[in-house]
Amino acid sequence: MKKTIFAIDDEQSIRFIIENTFKKDFEIETFPNGELALASMQTGVIPDLIVCDIEMPIMNGFEFIKQIRASGFFDDIPLLMLSGKESSDDRIKCFESGADDYIIKPFNPKELLARVKRRLKSIDLYKMRKGH
């Protein structure tokens, strides 16, 4: 069974790029903002990994991280943040909030795919060692 990835970005072109890059290997769900993704998760659709933009209307990436990590239910879902800013302060804020990776836009879709596969492989190996 394919793993599920959520791609959250207010730019349709970014969602399109991620969807087309990932659809061969993963089930991909796209959302234009964090609020819609969170609502989907609260109905029981739980992704294996989330790729999320920082600068979005309605619920920005920082608020999304805060909501996800505070819930307790979604705490172990890997979260890769996308940003147009190379600011070290933003990176630090993301990591301190609970993000697992930070990728600058524009990004190479193949690099994003490689990072996602690596992150999921690490989780699978960890679970195997723990006997899950």
Q: One digit per residue, pLDDT tens: the chain, 132 residues? A: 899 999 999 999 999 999 999 999 999 999 999 999 999 999 999 999 999 999 999 999 999 999 999 988 898 999 999 999 998 999 999 999 999 999 999 999 999 999 999 999 988 888 888 876
For 55, 89, 92, 131, the CA distances from 80, given in Å and listed in that order, are 14, 16, 13, 26
- Structural domains counted in the chain: 1
pLDDT for res 129: 86
Q: Tell me the one-letter amino acid at 49.
A: L
pLDDT for res 132: 61
pLDDT for res 71: 84
Give the domain CATH number at 115: 3.40.50.2300
Record the pTM: 0.94
Range of the domain at 56: 4-130
- Could you report the per-residue pLDDT of 91-113, keeping only the tens digit for each? 999 999 999 999 999 999 999 99
